[in-house]
Amino acid sequence: MTSLVLTIIAPDKPGLVELLSQTIASHQGNWLESSLSRLAGKFAGILIVSIPEAQAEPLSKALAELDAQGLKVVAERSQEPQLKTAYNSINLALIGHDKPGIVKEISQALTANKVNVERLSTELVSGSMSAEELFKAEAHLLVPDTVDLDDLQQALENIASDLMVDITLN
């Protein structure tokens, strides 16, 4: 068995998941994990498929042919990397008034501390009192054991003050 990571995008319409799942199943693939969303009129996502090695290339070809039906799929073989260092798993929650650069500032601080973003979800939500748009982010992070969590917290709090957002690590 081998694993394929699929990224997909298409104009949103009913039947896309069925089309994708039927193509995978017809090549003896097993749909393992996915994150699929409607964003700005597009249907986009990422998923992991487990498939017999002999079916990997035929499935990749069949997925590429879905482009004729408006579904763009990119298939990449996956090999789970062996982590060479120990990590702490932490969650980050952020909320504040929306403005350009929030993700850039936070990701720069994380990169400077060798933190790996394992999962990131962002959205704009309406403020409960003011109806202003608030930027909300949730991330699952892998922090190397060599990173002092207090130092990371302080670096993020400094950015939070500059951006006028609230950041919580736990």
Domain boundaries, the chain: 2-78, 87-169
Architecture of domain 2-78: 2-Layer Sandwich (3.30)
**What is the rounded average pLDDT for all residues in the chain?**
90
How many other C-beta atoms can be found within 10 angstroms of the C-beta atom of residue 92? 20
Q: What is the pLDDT of residue 81?
A: 60
What's the CATH superfamily of 87-169?
A: ACT domain (3.30.70.260)
Q: What is the pLDDT of residue 82?
A: 62
Per-residue tokens: 65: 């042919």
Helix, strand or coil, per DSSP, at residue 83: coil
pLDDT tens, position by position, 115-158: 999 999 999 888 777 778 889 999 999 999 999 988 898 889 88
pTM of the model: 0.76
Identical fold for domains 2-78 and 87-169, yes or no, is: yes
pLDDT bracket for residue 101 (50, 70, 90): confident
Helix, strand or coil, per DSSP, at residue 67: helix
Q: What is the pLDDT of residue 80?
A: 67
Residue type, 44: A
